[in-house]
Amino acid sequence: MADRALTGWDRVTLLRGLARGFVESPGYVALYAHSLWALFTTHPWLPQASPALAHSLAGRVARILDAGVISPRSRRELSAVHYVLRDQQH
């Protein structure tokens, strides 16, 4: 989904959808982690486009990282997402 979106969908709308799904679908953490990672890797400015959403998402990402119940790959990708989100808040 993120790969197709990067070729022309509205990126902020995509971020909102991924953030909502990330919160509402805990069984798909790996999918959302990878999609968010891909989106922020190519568009690191996105958190600036919606600071409230970025703040909310940063909290959710931090809680998942603290819980420690995700795969090593998802942990790496979410750590990178968390870094981008945290960096934008400073």
Q: Which phi-psi region, left, alpha or beta, contains residue 68 (left: φ > 0; alpha: ψ -120 to 50)? A: left
More confident residue, 20 or 2: 20
**Among positive and negative, which fits the CA dihedral 52, 79, 73, 48?**
positive
More confident residue, 57 or 7: 57
Angstrom distance (rounded) from CA 59 to CA 55? 6
pLDDT tens per residue, range 2-14: 555 555 679 999 9
The structure's pTM equals 0.83
